[in-house]
Amino acid sequence: MAFFAIAILGSVLSALIPPLQSPDEPEHINRAYLLAHMSETYNVPGHSTGGEIDSGLSRYEMLFAGKLTAKPDARYTARLAREAAAIRWSGEHVFSDMAGSAPYLPLDYVPQAIGLRIGEALDLSVGASYRVARVAALFTIALIIAVAFAIWPPNALLICVLALPMTMFQIASASSDGLSFAWLVLAASLFMLGSDRSASFRAWHPVLLMLAVFMVVTARPQMLPVLALPASVFFMRKEWRWLAAWAVVAGAAFMWLNTAAHIVDLRMPRSVTTGQATALYLWHPLGFAAVLARTLSSEINLIFYWRSFIGILGWLDRPMPSYVYSICGVGLALAAALSVARISIKHRVLLIGCAAVAILLTFFAMLITWTDQPAKFIVGVQGRYFIAPAVLLAYSFGPPRGVWWMIICGAFVVFTTAMTVSTLLWTYYL
């Protein structure tokens, strides 16, 4: 049921969303292309970290960058669609910056890479190959979430978080966000199952749990706290061999994050390096607290975080009607109230703690990588970065109970789907 619901809703949205309209999506597609051709990123003097992609793919991306992306008054016209459809794979390669996606593990792009490779093998156009990659990612997401729901049933709050316009928009795109959400849902479901002493925790459950956590952490470094979830389960169940295996997986994740820390990102000019900014705030933690407090005390920032959490579509240039943000807030509050159930205090605290630390790491990461120093406010934080912590918070409420939550969830999904479709039509076509 979950697989078909996600696949159908995602396909409808995917059909309406023009190509490359998720933030940094071209760079995610480029990483998928590198994986499809067994290539990797490297550094070139004067450029951000990047790699060589087909010149046809580069032309396809430049076409949308010039005529649609981050241009709120531009529309996806039939003429633009014809121009894009005429672009073919060339077999020639050009260098492309990929700082926005280079820190992520290549395995995060397996579905998109398979889609692109199929498109090339069938001699499809670049645009058609991109659509195959998008469909491959969508069906992989639907499968992972369906498995997660079969392992541990979702409560009302989790369903509503996944049904937010921003979440659905990212799931229907070819960026890495949707897959990282899916892996996190799977990891949290396995954690809940493993934390239940009366439940059967079969041999493949720990393997899948560690895989899911590894995929989350290597795709979203700010979600590093989720490494505590499998450790907690294995310690509680006294599974010492799995705890040792977890240590190996955690070590591999840290090794990748250390490698990713050396990515060159020249998109935002800064007067200090990431290493210097990190050292500054590690030695002066009160300085970080002061900048964070100023950032969170700004009403403008808080409104932006909320709206971009619910959904500002496109490259944060296609807002929804103002009433959508209020109604979604009410819906989330009702879902949260209907989701409160009995759950171990230790497990609830752990999930909430992981979410809180992940949010702090999000602000810290943007402070040291995207904000010039000395900093008055933290720059670059978007509301969609809080979707993953919201998933953890939803699991902290406990398993589903009663029947009213089904009605609330149904109404919420219908409303958000209708408003997302309406916004896409009005802002991209009409």
Confidence of residue 86 (pLDDT cuts 50, 70, 90): very high
Torsion of CA 60, 65, 67, 68, to 10 degrees: 110
Is the model's pLDDT at 310 over the cut of 90? Answer: yes
Is the model's pLDDT at 165 over the cut of 90? Answer: yes
Is the model's pLDDT at 261 over the cut of 80? Answer: no
Structure tokens at 117: 């490779």
The C-alpha atoms of residue 399 and residue 403 are separated, in whole angstroms, by 13
Look at residue 185 in the predicted model and tell me its pLDDT: 98
Look at residue 106 in the predicted model and tell me its pLDDT: 92
The C-alpha atoms of residue 229 and residue 206 are separated, in whole angstroms, by 11
Confidence of residue 302 (pLDDT cuts 50, 70, 90): very high
**Rounded alpha-carbon distances, angstroms, from residue 170 to 142, 173, 298, 352:** 13, 5, 27, 24
Look at residue 228 in the predicted model and tell me its pLDDT: 96
Look at residue 197 in the predicted model and tell me its pLDDT: 82
Percent with pLDDT over 70 in the chain = 100
Look at residue 390 in the predicted model and tell me its pLDDT: 98
Look at residue 214 in the predicted model and tell me its pLDDT: 97
DSSP, collapsed to helix, strand or coil, labels residue 88 as coil
Supply φ then ψ for residue 239, to 5 degrees. Answer: -95, 80
The C-alpha atoms of residue 269 and residue 13 are separated, in whole angstroms, by 36
Least confident of 213-222, 259-268, 280-289, 327-336: 259-268
Beta bridge partners of residue 389, listed in sequence order: none
Cα angle, residue 109 at apex, residues 104 and 110 outer, rounded to 5°: 140
**Across all residues in the chain, what is the average pLDDT?**
94
State which amino acid sits at residue 320.
M
Is the model's pLDDT at 68 over the cut of 80? Answer: yes
Is the model's pLDDT at 211 over the cut of 80? Answer: yes
How far out from the chain centre does Cα 93 lie? 29
Instruction: Tell me if the pTM is above 0.75.
Output: yes
Cα angle, residue 291 at apex, residues 261 and 314 outer, rounded to 5°: 65
Supply φ then ψ for residue 47, to 5 degrees. Answer: -130, 160
Confidence of residue 404 (pLDDT cuts 50, 70, 90): confident
Look at residue 99 in the predicted model and tell me its pLDDT: 86
Model pLDDT for residues 123-139, shown as the tens digit of each residue: 999 999 999 999 999 99
Confidence of residue 168 (pLDDT cuts 50, 70, 90): very high
Confidence of residue 274 (pLDDT cuts 50, 70, 90): confident
Look at residue 296 in the predicted model and tell me its pLDDT: 97
The C-alpha atoms of residue 173 and residue 177 are separated, in whole angstroms, by 9
**Rounded alpha-carbon distances, angstroms, from residue 246 to 160, 213, 254, 357:** 31, 10, 12, 20
Is the model's pLDDT at 46 over the cut of 90? Answer: no
Model pLDDT for residues 352-380, shown as the tens digit of each residue: 999 999 999 999 999 998 898 889 999 99
The C-alpha atoms of residue 180 and residue 57 are separated, in whole angstroms, by 24
Structure tokens at 52: 């060589």
Quick one: average pLDDT of 25-43?
94
Residues shown for the chain: 430
